[in-house]
Amino acid sequence: MQLNSKKELTPVVFGETSVKILKTRIGANVLAFEQHWHDRLELHLITSGSLELCCDDKITIVNKNELSIVSPTMLHSGRSGSNGYECYVIMFEVADLYNGTVSAKQYIEPIINGKIQFKHKTDNSEIVTLASQIVEMQLNHKNYHPLETVGCLYRLLGLLCEHCIDVNLSSPQKFESIDNILNYINSNFTKNISSSSVSQHFGYDKSYFCRKFKKATGITVTNYIKTQRLEHARRLLEKTKESIRHISISCGFIDAAYFTNCFKSAYNMSPTKYRNDYIRQKK
């Protein structure tokens, strides 16, 4: 069973300034972009109408002359308002601006690793004006040296850190890439693992870990582990002559009776019946 971690997989090609600008026009009351996340920082400079930005299940209305802020790894989606909206999307990789200086370690590194997250929108005139300037510099790049734009990105991050850090979202923890977590479970589900042991392995409080996992995948940690075990057991029933007890233990179940109950619940038949039906169909 494969789960969509909702990470955006289409690569964004940045130029020599490490920033990309897209002009977008969306009609009224439609889904503008589905729920997803990415490693870059993304801003929407609204020039008309309104955007309903949903981040972590919280909806923020971003109006004309306001700027939405989507922090790296933030799960988000968006809908247009009653009059639609037009905007410039400003995208850049914060990691590209890391240079090992004291200020970069103090501010840029925490943005990259999720310790600093920003409020979902701002109407700060200095920030909005600077965002508009970055758009202008990119659209008319022949009139500006690339380092001027890079300088503006540093200035923008400085203003965001000064005015827009969300103390309720920023924390000393960064949630591990969901792909890394899924890979770990996929490699270890036959062992004695649980939501407690997996959260401990990645250094998280169990309740925090379980909440973030379900938000990213749509399924609980326990059910994901159980599903992986059942899918493996189903393949073993098809390809081997091992006993039900042996298969249940080799797939990580505590005993054969519990395994049988879980299998019946998932596939509407016992493991034995599944194997017998599979053998008959192969003849």
C-beta of residue 36 within 8 angstroms of C-beta of residue 29? no
- Residue 272: pLDDT band (50, 70, 90) is very high
C-beta of residue 86 within 8 angstroms of C-beta of residue 113? no
CA 170, 172, 173 angle in degrees (round to 5)?
Answer: 95
Question: pLDDT, tens digit, for every residue of 86-139?
Answer: 999 999 999 999 998 988 888 898 888 777 889 999 999 999 999 999 999 999
What's the whole-number mean pLDDT along residues 32-58?
A: 92
CA distances from 247 to 63, 215, 238, 244, 260 (A): 58, 31, 11, 5, 11
Sort strands 121-122 and 67-70 into parallel, antiparallel or unpaired.
antiparallel
- Residue 230: pLDDT band (50, 70, 90) is very high
Q: What is the pLDDT of residue 112?
A: 86
Residue of 277, 271, 268, 273 whose CA lies nearest to 258: 271
Residue written as token pair 């890979």 = 183
Q: What is the pLDDT of residue 3?
A: 40
What's the whole-number mean pLDDT along residues 172-190?
A: 83
Question: pLDDT, tens digit, for every residue of 192-209?
Answer: 999 999 988 887 778 778
CA quadruple 72, 74, 77, 83: dihedral positive or negative? negative
> What average pLDDT is seen over the chain?
90
Residue of 174, 179, 38 whose CA lies nearest to 114: 174
Other beta carbons less than 10 A from residue 262's beta carbon: 19
Q: Has residue 210 got a pLDDT over 80?
A: yes
Q: Is 0.85 surpassed by the pTM of this model?
A: no
Q: What is the pLDDT of residue 4?
A: 46
Q: Has residue 51 got a pLDDT over 90?
A: yes
Instruction: Please report the domains of the chain, with CATH numbers, ordered by start residue.
Output: 19-163 (2.60.120.280), 178-282 (1.10.10.60)
Q: Has residue 245 got a pLDDT over 60?
A: yes
Q: What is the 3-state secondary structure (H, E, C) of 110-146?
A: HHHCCCCCECCEECCHHHHHHHHHHHHHHHCHHHCCH
Ramachandran bin of 203, using left for φ above 0, alpha for ψ from -120 to 50, beta for the remaining angles: left
β-bridge mates for residue 37, sequence order:
7
Q: Has residue 1 got a pLDDT over 60?
A: no
